[in-house]
Amino acid sequence: MTEFKGVAGIAMMNLKKILLIVFGVSLLPVTNVWAQKSTKIEIRNAGFFRSDKTIRQGARRLIGNVMFWQDSTIMKCDSAYFMGENNWFEAYGHVHLYKEGDSKINVHSDFLRYNGNSKMAYFRKNVVLRDTQVVLYTDSLDYDTRRDIGYYEHNGQVVDSATTLTSQKGYYYHHKNEVYFRKNVVVNHNQGEYQMYTDTLKYNTKTEITYFLGPTEFYNDSNYMYARFGWYNTTINQAMFQKDAFFDNRKQTIKADSLYYDREKEHGIGFSNVVATDTAQKLIVKGNYLEVFKDSDTFFVTDSALLIHIMEGDTVYLHADTLYAMYDTTHTYRIFKAFHHTKIFKSNFQAKTDSLYFSMADSIIRFYGSPILWAEQNQITASYIEGYVVNEKLDRFKLFDGGLIVSMEDTLHFNQIKGSEMIGYLKANRLWKVDVFKKSETIYFPVDEFGIIGVNKSKSTNITLLLKNNKISRIIYRSQYEGAMHPLKELAPNDMKVKEFQWFHSWRPKAPLDVFIWEGSTQPAQRPKPFFTPAAPANLEE
């Protein structure tokens, strides 16, 4: 019915690429170079330099093709102030820092202040960190190599061939294997093919799991997704969207406390307070556990499952322990199943049955397990019932093995039609004709303006009954008729009922939420437990 695929899976795959390259690759070699014991910075080249106590507290002034070196790290610039005794320098103009013999470190900026003792590098103005695939742009980038923490706090932009990520702040914690993007995080893929907005994005470079830790939106031209917390495992392509999770593809929507999605299997699960809506089919599915299988285009819902279908200017409510929808083997016709404790409410039609099966191939609803149907004033029972749908309306029903139709004349007297096999015909959901085959039996109470005038009991092989305003208006006996009219006083109460008579009025749902009540009890039917719960990542935290 509804798929979870959308933009989220694509977004996380590209985030993995960006995060690994920029922080997991580019900054990691800096740790290896600078996290050693303190060494002296060396001057390798300068076009001109001079030393003067009046220059920046005795600093050396270096101008033209300046090059510094420390522990295989090379820095070039147009000019610099170098404090050799204090082991630091400030570099200006065309600053370029890279590692000798390693192209993975490649940083450009207009200014760099570098402390060789603390091994803190402060890049400022037009900072560009580049490798062969990804570029980071910012005006301020600091890296603490003693604690292996790199960060920018005044806006940064990460760009690869297809994806751009911007945020106000970014942090890298090497010992925790974590990268954070914070405040106004925006991911834009392929010039708007999809976008993601979030408050905080966290990535673990070891587990390759991405967490979004605040209100997050994913969207493109056809899909939208929202959640306030979640994670995405980029190694196995599994994701969990939690806290007010919401998905919309313009045809269907899903709301839930949590939404889980396996991108490889195209398998989605909704947990707790799930509401799935199909606007095209005018369907709403509710429950506390919903599974969707994209490859087979099937879904099932359980734990307080409820299907709501808007039709004929009315609404149908259907509950069962489990609701299941799929396609037939030809993938042409939709099949719908409801298993155990199944109940239906519509303003002019209700039903109670153990299980239900409906195929659009033949438009027949099959009721199993002592079904009971209520159409207006009529109670319809049998061992097995088939309902034939025409133009989204129940056109007729067929009763098998002990069919019985009962309507109440007053609290003591009930009209009854019994037969081995019966077909009832409806107009505007009102019963207007019944054909009874094989062994048939009728008991009905004719009335006049003063009330019931007697009881008519008859038997026949085949009969047809015509009804008007839900009352028998005419009986046509086709063969082997046997019957008579009796005064009410002539018959005992039990003689005015067929052997199989039962009146299930207390079981009839009177309102939509009554579909959750089974057999007249005030308690809802027992809920089955969820079938599957995905394991959260080991270091999941909010």
Express each pLDDT in 37-80 by its tens digit: 678 999 999 998 887 666 777 788 999 999 999 887 889 999 99
- Which H/E stretch holds residue 16? helix 8-19
Domain contains 457: yes
Give the DSSP letter string of 426-455: EETTEEEEEEEEEEEEEEE--EETTEE--E
Write the DSSP symbol of residue 541.
-
Backbone angles phi, psi at 350, to 5 degrees: -140, 160
43 and 62 Cβ atoms separated by less than 8 Å: yes
Q: Would you say residue 384 lies in a domain?
A: yes
The residue with greater pLDDT, 33 or 189, is 189
pLDDT at residue 223 greater than cutoff 90:
no
Mean pLDDT to the nearest integer, 255-263: 91
Amino acid, single-letter form, for residue 78: D
Check which CATH number belongs to the domain holding 508 and give it: 2.60.450
User: In angstroms, how far is the first alpha carbon of the chain from the final one?
Assistant: 32
Residue range 359-372: mean pLDDT, rounded:
93
Cα–Cα distance for residue pair 66/47, rounded to 1 Å: 7
d(CA 271, CA 127): 45
- Is the pLDDT at 125 greater than 60, yes or no? yes
Phi and psi angles of residue 346, each rounded to the nearest 5 degrees, phi first: -140, 155
61 to each of 50, 80, 394, 474, how far by Cα in Å? Answer: 5, 6, 94, 116
Residues pairing with 464 in the sheet: 435, 476
Report CA dihedral (103, 109, 112, 117) to the nearest 10 degrees: -20
* Cα distance between residue 56 and residue 62, in whole Å: 12
Instruction: Examine residue 532 and state whether it is found in any structural domain, yes or no.
Output: no
Residue 349 counted as domain residue: no
Q: How far apart, in Å, are the Cα atoms of 232 and each of 209, 235, 259, 267?
A: 6, 9, 12, 14
If you average pLDDT over residues 9-23, what whole number do you get?
49
Domain count, the chain: 1
Q: Is the per-residue pLDDT at 528 higher than 60?
A: no
Position 139 in a domain: no
| pLDDT computed for residue 131 by the predictor | 65
CA 369, CA 357: separation in Å to the nearest integer?
A: 12
In this prediction, residue 23 carries a pLDDT of 46
For residue 412, how many other CB atoms are within 10 A of its CB?
Answer: 11
In DSSP terms, 13 is beta-bridged to: none
Minimum mean pLDDT among 2-11, 241-250, 341-350, 496-505: which range? 2-11
**493 belongs to a structural domain:** yes
At 284-336, the pLDDT tens digits run 999 999 998 876 678 899 999 999 998 767 899 999 999 998 888 888 888 99
d(CA 10, CA 263): 9
Report the chain's C-alpha Rg in angstroms. Answer: 38
Mean pLDDT across 106-118: 92
Which residue type occupies 479? S
**What does DSSP assign to residue 522?**
S
The single residue listed with the structure tokens 């054909």 is 435
Where residue 280 falls among pLDDT bands split at 50, 70, 90? confident
Q: For the segment 448-471, what is each residue's pLDDT rounded down to a tens digit? A: 888 899 999 988 888 898 988 877
pLDDT at position 206 is 77
Distance CA 283, CA 316 (A): 10
Pick from 201, 238, 204, 233: which is nearest to 218 by CA? Answer: 201
Residues 115/90, Cβ–Cβ less than 8 Å: no
Is residue 435 domain-resident?
A: yes
Which range in 186-190, 388-392, 414-418 is most confidently predicted, on average pLDDT? 414-418
* Distance of alpha carbon 122 from alpha carbon 496, whole angstroms: 99
Exposed e or buried b for every residue in 420-434, given b needs 16+ CB within 10 A? bbbbbbbeebbbbeb
Maximal CA-CA distance, the chain: 133
pLDDT in tens, 84-101: 888 999 999 999 988 777
Q: How far is CA 32 from CA 37, 105, 135, 147, 372, in A?
A: 11, 11, 21, 12, 76
The average confidence (pLDDT) of the chain is 83
| Domain of 454, in residue numbers | 373-516
Cα–chain-centroid distance for residue 82?
Answer: 59
* H helix or E strand, kind and range, residue 30: helix 28-34
Q: Is the pTM of this model over 0.95?
A: no
Domain presence at residue 394: yes
User: Helix, strand, or coil here: 221?
Assistant: coil
* Beta strand residue intervals within 205-348, DSSP E: 209-212, 216-219, 224-227, 229-233, 238-248, 252-262, 267-278, 283-293, 298-302, 306-311, 314-319, 322-327, 334-346
516 DSSP assignment: G
Among residues 460, 469, 453, 16, the alpha carbon closest in space to that of 205 is found at 16
| Pick from 304, 338, 303: nearest CA to 323 | 338
Q: pLDDT value at position 192?
A: 67
Q: What is the pLDDT of residue 265?
A: 83
Using DSSP's 3-state secondary structure scheme, residue 100 falls into coil
pLDDT at position 434, please? Answer: 92
Average pLDDT of the residues in 167-195? 82
3-state secondary structure 349-366: EEEEEEEEEEECCCCEEE
- Tokens (6 digits) for 320: 């069962």
Using 50, 70 and 90 to split pLDDT, how confident is the model at 535?
low
Q: Say which range, 20-34, 266-280, 350-364, 525-539, has the weakest mean pLDDT.
A: 20-34
Quick one: CA dihedral 165, 166, 168, 169, positive or negative? Answer: positive
Please tell me the predicted confidence (pLDDT) of residue 54. Answer: 67
C-beta neighbour count of 306 within 10 angstroms: 20
Cα 325 from Cα 323, distance rounded (Å): 7
Instruction: Give residue 369's Cα distance to chain centre.
Output: 32
pLDDT band at 7 (very low <50, low <70, confident <90, very high): very low
- Yes or no: say if 228 and 242 are a contact pair by the CB < 8 Å rule: yes
Alpha helices in 353-461 (DSSP H): none
